[in-house]
């Protein structure tokens, strides 16, 4: 039993389960080390099984030591009842946020048919809350992913010019990320210029970037499976008063939020500090998303930093701090860094340059 499985099985009693069936991809990887694209885990208190098909059994043996590897084939009905029938399991947790209605029905039907008396119990966020607190090795992977992202940004910041399209800039970024060692990107790069930057998640288009426009860039790299997340907003040409004011407000909101975020505060408290600064500057309605989110094996995971988040920010958590202001017809500014909670305070992992306007 590895340390992560140990921590997980310690929570079985409070959820009233005696085993846990894992189907979610990142959770499977986190608990077993196996990063193939298909497979399931059955975690019992004294034993752990990794069920995967012919394509992956050899890989699974290497990547998931300590797991019993079960080679599966056919539909769930062919192997699931056998997997759980002789195990003594009475109440089996399943990942309610991942299992589809159809899959749940197949599991139930298969057990009924074979008269296996196991009750399926929905469980939420159990592995995700373990994943939120990173081990030193995980933080190092995210730091490396952040360094790759920084390098790509710095390259593009020095070469971007009026006349390029958003897609061209996105492609330069993507090449740079991959050349600097990123695995497949954790999410599609955002390059949004001029009025397009008012859409927080705009897709890069064939729009030509003009002089006198903001360009919002949001991207991440992946290293050893771990993601980073970085946003910068640059200005082509000499920034006007409006851009300076909005940019300064966003940067101020980010800087102050980072300085007050300490271990023990809630995601809601962190969010409200940044939100208040933006509101006071008169852009209260223009910050329409949350302040941040956890980053790890998934680009978006726990904890959440937002008005509805009662989650506590704890030592070892890695998350983004990304305030923004978006004005329809004008454009937008977002500044985002990936940070880690260390010794009760925020340490910034991404180091890409930020322009400061006085
Ligand atoms: Zn983000």
CA of 65 relative to ligand 1 center, distance in Å: 33
264 domain residue, yes or no: yes
Place of tokens 């390029």: 164
pTM value surpassing 0.75: yes
Domain closes at, from 131, 162, 177: 131
Closest to 293 (Cα-Cα) out of 312, 269, 267, 266: 267
357 domain residue, yes or no: no
CA of 295 relative to ligand 1 center, distance in Å: 8
Phi, psi values for residue 2, rounded to 5°: -75, 170
* Residue range of the domain that includes 278: 136-348
Q: Is 144 helix (H, G, I), strand (E, B) or coil?
A: helix
And the tokens for 347?
């340490």
355 domain residue, yes or no: no
How confident is the prediction along the chain (358 residues), in pLDDT tens digits per residue?
Answer: 789 999 999 999 999 999 999 999 999 999 999 999 999 999 998 899 999 999 999 999 999 999 999 999 998 889 999 999 888 899 999 999 999 999 999 999 999 999 999 999 999 999 999 999 999 999 999 999 999 999 999 999 999 999 999 999 999 999 999 999 999 999 999 999 999 999 988 999 999 999 999 999 999 999 999 999 999 999 999 999 999 999 999 999 999 999 999 999 999 999 999 999 999 999 999 999 999 999 999 999 999 999 999 999 999 999 999 999 999 999 999 999 999 999 999 999 999 999 988 7
Number of domains in the chain: 2
CA of 336 relative to ligand 1 center, distance in Å: 7
User: Measured between alpha carbons, how far is 25 from 6 in angstroms, rounded to an integer?
Assistant: 19
Assess whether 119 and 187 both reside in one domain: no
CA of 114 relative to ligand 1 center, distance in Å: 46
């Amino acid at each position: 039993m590895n340390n992560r499985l140990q921590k997980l099985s310690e929570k079985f009693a409070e959820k009233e389960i005696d085993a846990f069936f894992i189907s979610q991809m990142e959770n499977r990887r986190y608990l077993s080390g196996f990063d193939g694209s298909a497979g399931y885990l059955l975690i019992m208190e004294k034993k752990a099984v990794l069920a995967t098909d012919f394509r992956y059994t050899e890989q699974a043996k290497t990547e998931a030591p300590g797991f019993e590897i079960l080679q599966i084939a056919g539909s769930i009905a062919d192997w699931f009842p056998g997997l759980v029938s002789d195990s003594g399991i009475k109440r089996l947790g399943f990942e309610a946020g991942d299992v589809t209605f159809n899959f749940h029905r197949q599991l139930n039907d298969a057990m009924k048919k074979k008269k296996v008396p196991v009750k399926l119990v929905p469980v939420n966020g159990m592995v995700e809350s373990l994943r939120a607190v990173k081990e030193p090795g995980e933080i190092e992977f995210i730091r490396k992913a952040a360094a790759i992202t920084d390098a790509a940004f710095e390259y593009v910041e020095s070469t971007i010019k009026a006349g390029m399209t958003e897609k061209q800039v996105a492609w330069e970024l993507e090449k740079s990320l991959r050349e600097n060692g990123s695995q497949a990107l954790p999410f599609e790069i955002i390059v949004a210029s001029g009025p397009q930057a008012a859409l927080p998640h705009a897709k890069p288009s064939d729009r030509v970037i003009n002089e006198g426009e903001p360009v919002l860039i949001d991207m991440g790299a992946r290293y050893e499976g771990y993601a980073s997340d970085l946003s910068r907003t640059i200005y082509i040409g000499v920034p006007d008063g409006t851009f300076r004011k909005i940019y300064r407000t966003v940067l101020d909101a980010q800087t102050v939020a980072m300085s007050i975020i300490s271990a023990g505060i809630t995601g809601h408290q962190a969010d409200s500090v940044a939100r208040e600064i933006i509101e006071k500057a008169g852009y209260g309605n223009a910050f329409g998303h949350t302040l941040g989110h956890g980053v790890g094996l998934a680009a978006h995971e726990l904890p959440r930093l937002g008005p509805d988040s009662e989650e506590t920010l704890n030592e070892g958590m890695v998350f983004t701090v990304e305030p923004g202001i978006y004005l329809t017809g004008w454009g937008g500014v977002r500044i985002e860094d990936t940070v880690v909670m260390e010794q009760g305070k925020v340490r910034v992992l991404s180091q890409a340059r930020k322009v400061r306007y006085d």
